[in-house]
Amino acid sequence: MSILIYTENFEGKFKKSTFELASYGNEIAKRTGTEVVAITIGKVSIDALNELGKYGVQKVLVVKNSELNDFSVKAYSVAIEQAAKAVKAEVIIFGNNPSGRAIAPNISVKLNAGLAPGVVDLPSSIKPFTVRKKAYSGKVTVDFVISTDIKVLTLTQNSYKVIESETEISISNFDVNIPAGLYNAKPIKTVMNTGKLSVTDADVLVSGGRGLKGPENWKMVEEMAEILNAATCCSRPVSDLEWRPHHEHVGQTGKVVAPDLYIALGISGAVQHLAGVNGSKVIVAINTDADAPIFEAADYGIIGDVLDVVPKLNTALRQFKGK
């Protein structure tokens, strides 16, 4: 019996969210008296693989197969399904990110395993297996019970902390058997966003709304992001107006984020906006309107003109950071 985690690598490296996954899996393994096995697809350096042991992973299965050179939900699912069977996985955990969200439902059908998407906490009970997830676009959370023998979860990023738990780790290749040309959907091109920290990876987000008046005023937003080592994001109208790129749009119909700190500049705080950001640990709002709903969601607020307050705040932050 084991807990299987899918550790996605990005050009051979793992991200913090992978270590969250390992830590989370390790805690469940402790409770169920099993071990954590990680599966990773493609080429990863030995150092990176060994690092998984720091967070409790006892075994790593490295899968290399030319049918997996391009991402295909179907082909990846076949590989993970074979690994899950080989290690008798009782719980299979993915990150709640684009690839995890794509593969998990497929695995769930193949293994007749109930799926809890976007869990935000450790199981409150193992029997019956009960986890907490968000519902109604982040407006509430709910206890979610999986009744099948095998359980599949996707873990929301930044909802579980990275916990060190050094263990002996064994690394081995795992051969999978994938019929050639299995897939009918094949990536033909990948375009990466340039250099900057991505909205889903950042611990701090600086977000701008229509209150910033126009794209020409985003310099100060970017400056704040740079000081705080944050990523920039925006409300929906801002991306609809093409003031900012679409991948920065957060909210119910954009990205759902849960950073440690979310700074809302000139954002009214409409329910659909809050739905995507109310998982943030601390929210700061700056808005001219004292009655803006964002202040009901915020922890700290300033009533004022962003064009006037933000430059001053940037100076103070810069001083504090010694930058």
Scanning residues 198 to 217, which ones bind another protein (CB under 8 A)?
198, 200-201, 204
Q: Which of 290, 241, 300 is nearest to 268 (CA)?
A: 290
Q: Which of 150, 153, 151, 144 is nearest to 94 (CA)?
A: 153
Contacts of 242 (CB under 8 A, 6+ apart): none
293: cis peptide before it, omega within 30°? no
Distance, in Å, from the CA atom of 152 to the CA atom of 115, rounded to the nearest integer, reads 5
Contacts to another protein from residues 54-73, by CB under 8 A: 71-73
- With contacts defined by CB under 8 A, name the span among 30-38, 43-51, 211-219, 294-302 that binds another protein: 294-302
Binding site partner of 287, from ligand FAD, another protein, none, Cβ cut-off 5-8 A by kind = ligand FAD
Which pairing describes strands 129-135 and 261-265: parallel, antiparallel, or unpaired? unpaired
Q: How far is the CB of 232 from ligand FAD (least distance, A)?
A: 14
Site track 154-193 with ligand FAD (rule: CB under 6 A), x = hit: ----------------------------------------
Contacts to ligand FAD from residues 219-278, by CB under 6 A: 235-238, 251-254, 266-268, 270, 272-273, 276
Q: Are residues 56 and 22 in contact, defined by beta-carbon separation less than 8 angstroms? A: yes
Q: How far is the CB of 250 from ligand FAD (least distance, A)?
A: 6
Binding site partner of 278, from another protein, ligand FAD, none, Cβ cut-off 5-8 A by kind = another protein
Binding to ligand FAD by residue 279, rule CB under 6 A? Answer: no
Between the two ends of the chain, the Cα-to-Cα distance in Å is: 51
Q: Are residues 277 and 257 in contact, defined by beta-carbon separation less than 8 angstroms? A: yes
Helical axes 73-86 vs 98-110, angle rounded to 10°: 60
Of 135, 213, 214, 241, the one binding another protein (CB under 8 A) is 135
Of 203, 305, 314, 318, the one binding ligand FAD (CB under 6 A) is 305
In terms of CB distance, is 169 or 199 closer to another protein?
A: 199
Binding to ligand FAD by residue 200, rule CB under 6 A? Answer: no
In this structure, the number of other CB atoms found within 10 A of the CB of residue 156 comes to 23
Of 100, 138, 211, 301, the one binding ligand FAD (CB under 6 A) is 211
Q: Which of 152, 150, 131 is nearest to 142 (CA)?
A: 131
Binding to another protein by residue 159, rule CB under 8 A? Answer: no
